[in-house]
Structure formats: structure tokens, C-alpha cells
Structure 1
């Protein structure tokens, strides 16, 4: 967390910017707070140099529509957005969280079985909501999972395939702006805006590895690969050159190391080459022991817990009430 740069906006829509959280390839991540009252938000602002790129606007619109349609406690959904602004932005409710890859790096041999089950139950519940809304996420990977103290958040909805009625210009918000790009009925496993695979190779499904469009069962396969990575500390099909990884995904069994037999059996079912043989999201959640309020948070490595605590403390200081025209305080440190 850093002090705002001179070029960073101080206001975006109803939010006052407080600090800079980081940068992405296409924009900056800012910490904000609704003027007057309200919890903190994380705002992603597209760089002005890329604001005229309609592909980026299309991806943002798809992310907003899909995340709102699947909104739930384990889905990071958009709280507010202005996709028609000169520099478009999207705001999400702010929760101190770290990328799943950082959690695995802090536990290089993988999380204990109980932690993997907790993450699996929560993410399977998120996937239930995605599929119940008639969508396919299409890009589930370690990059699409953030881990907070109370559990994970599924992100990365810019790859989502929305229901065909929206892509065809139905009553939903998807009937404009992004056109039909990357939505239901697409014929390949690529992101139509970039021509690249919809996600890192180690977490693609066999269908996607063969260049086909993802289906709900593809999301289950990708989630199984993410959880195997969390449990073993490495992807189940390796992480070397993409062609070799994609071949293993399509033709070879996963390497699950010496996982406990019950957990290995669940993940093996998710990673079946035949989409019809994989469990549905609801059955997967039940297999992990999740249900309603019973889903317990995972036990995270100590360095991750300390990092989350520091970030939460910094945000609490920045969230102290201030008048609308009072300058934002510099983050501690």
C-alpha cells in the first residue's frame, strides 16, 4: 500500500481515493471510500493510454455483468462501475486478501488437508452460483483466487461466457457494449479479445487444451487443478512449457503426490478427462464438507496471517472519518 501518485485521481464517482494498492498490465488499483460513510473499496482504473481500447472495455463489462450475476460471499462482485468514463473504472468491496499463489509460496509443501477442504467447499459454492446463473467462468486458475482471513474470493470473470440471450441482445445488461465476444456459444477455448488461452495453461481443462469452448464441467476440472496445486505446492500437470503441460492435461493422469486418499479421490474425480464423469459443483461442495454457514475458514500460514493483519490495520487508519475536501492521509509507513 502506497501514497497516491500526483497523477492519481482523488475522486472517482462517489468514492474518495485514499491510497494506491498496486498496478496491473492495464491499470492501477486504488483504495477508496465512499464519501460520507461506508466501508473501503478497491477501485481498478484503466490507464488513460489504454482507455480507447474497446477490447479492454468489453472485458471489464463482461467482468462486471458476470460477477454481479454470481454474487455471493465467495464471489468478488462489482459494487460500482463507470465503464463509459474517459478512463473506465470498477469498484469492488475491499477485503484484505492475498493471491492464492502467495499462500502456496508460504507453504511450499501445500496446505494441510483441512485447509484445502475449506477452500474447496467455498470455491465450489461460488461455482454453484456461477453455473446456476447460466454462465461458465472459463478462466478458473490460481490467479483468479484471492484468499482472505475468512475464506477465498473467486475473481477473473472477464473470461466468463454469459447466457446466450444476453449475448444476443436480450433484456440483460449484456445486450450492449461488449457485443457477443467471448460469450455463450463461442467455438473455441481462447479469449476472443486477445487470441490467448483463457487462463494459465496448468489450470486449463482437456477441452480447452484441445481448443474447444469451456463448459460447466471445464470449470470443475480447473478448480480441481487449483486445489491440487494448493494441496501439493505444484500444479498436477506441471508448470513448464505450455505445449508439454497441455499434452499432459489432455492425455496423462494428474500427479497428486502422496495426498491423503479421501482428498486424492475427490480431486481425481474433478480431473477426469471425461467431462460427464466429473462431479457437479453442488456435489463437490458436499464432498468437501461445505454447506450453508458450516463452511469454515482455512488455516493459513503464519506469514500470510501477519500480512493480512498489517494490511487491515493500515486500512483502518485510512478509513477514519474525514470531511469530503480533507486530503487523504498517507498510509502508515
Structure 2
């Protein structure tokens, strides 16, 4: 039977080599940023599994260096650090202390791995006894987070992290005006060369659950909906991104990643700054749990999810799968 001419997409799918040469998006090791949780402790062997995030750990400085060394040997290019201090207070003073745990970890990693890109999460939530990302008046349990007084502390944190050798600072607090405050402070203190990778579009998401255990940063009262974005809003993301660009951001982060691929795409098409997607703890843990139960092929789903970020327009991906990806590529 004669058939009329029609599109034959299968011609380019016949073999793996054919599929490879026409592949539109490829995930590279350079695209990935590995998060680590470093703990202020006197026990150099401290390595505590994070129960809600299989394969992830809270690490002492010694254990962090050991873990990062393994990643670097596999080709890891970038990390982002989250700190868990020995003591917390209402103003998060450990965040901007010169000998804070993130500052210590930064110095340690830059000395051991000079070429490694060390990014520091710049926020107060892991260091405050109330768990919020901004200042709360001492003893106040109403949940009111004070924006402008917080900016001074965030700027101080950014400078202290830059002094420790951070290659990039990443404000995740969602306070209004924090990028401008950090840029001004960094420039004034001789760190005009340090980029700001802003959590420009950070939603008040239910996907952060496992991270609360990992970073020990659960709010002790209220929630973060007064400063993180409503998941129902898309156009608001543009306003947030534009504000951060105007204030001096160099890279824009969308967090979470998979549920907000439309936002990743919108920012990619609207601005010429690099866009990063954060594949957050809940996304990671769901894939891991399903794989551990034999319900999905974990490696295949990992790769499919990472590729989705690239297809949507993300230049960079912050993901707990970084080490898994590197091990896969080394085989």
C-alpha cells in the first residue's frame, strides 16, 4: 500500500548514536552544584545520616573535607554550604561571625581545593533560635519578621563569607532589598568581584520538609508565608526577579525546581542573566524513596529530572544528586 509522505521522527531515534547526535540538551558536571550541611562540633568524625534524605549527611569540618575530596576526584565543580551552629540566638549571630561554621568550612575548602567554586547560603534561619530568616523581636511569638533591620545583618553575613573566601554568596531569605544591601556592603569592603546568586524566586513550598531536618531550621512559631512567595503566583516571580536584577544580582535561582519549571522557562526567556534551578530536598527524597521501594528506576528518573531543568532553560542546577550523577558519569 502506498502511503502519502508524512513526518518520520523515528528515523533519528533508531540507534543510540543517532539519538546522541541530535540530543538538544545535555547535563554536564559543570552545571551541577552540590549542597552540603556542615556542623559546628568538637567531634571530627561526626557524620550523621539525614533520615529524610537518604544518602545525605550532616558533616563535621573533617568529614566535609573528606566528602568533598571524593566529589572533586569525580569532577565536581561547585558546592553550596549550609551551616548548623553549636549555639543559636534570636538574631542569628553565628551567621555573620568571623569564625562561624560556614566561614570555617569555606576557608577549609578553599585551602584544600582552590579551584572549587564555594558558594555560601546567606541567610539567618539556620542560626536563629526561632528558625525564621529575618529578625524577630526577642520574646515575640507573633511571627512578625522585621524586614529592614534584617538587611544589615544579611549584608554583614555576606561580607563575612566573602572575607572567608566564598566565591559567591547566595541570599535565600526573601527579604525585600537584600540584594541591594549585600551588593553595597560587598563593594564597600573590597569584594566587588564577588557575585550574588540570589534566590530571586523562592516559594513557600511544602517540598522543603526534609531540609528542615537537615538544616535544623524549622520555624518555632508561625510560617514563612509572609516573605516567601505564594505557590499560586507566576507573574509575581517576574517582579521579584526584576527587583533583584536592578539591585545587582548576577544569577537568579528558582526554588523549588520541578514544580516551577514554568517559572524557570519564563525567567530564561525574559532575562539575560543565568538562571539556576534548585532541586530541593522534597524532590530528591521522593525520587530516592520511590527508587528504594523499586517503584521507579532511580537513575533514569534522576537523569530525566536533571534534563528537564536544562530543557526549561536552567543554566545551573543545585541538586543533592550531584554526587550520584558524577559517579554515574565516571563508570
**TM-score, normalization by structure 1:** 0.27
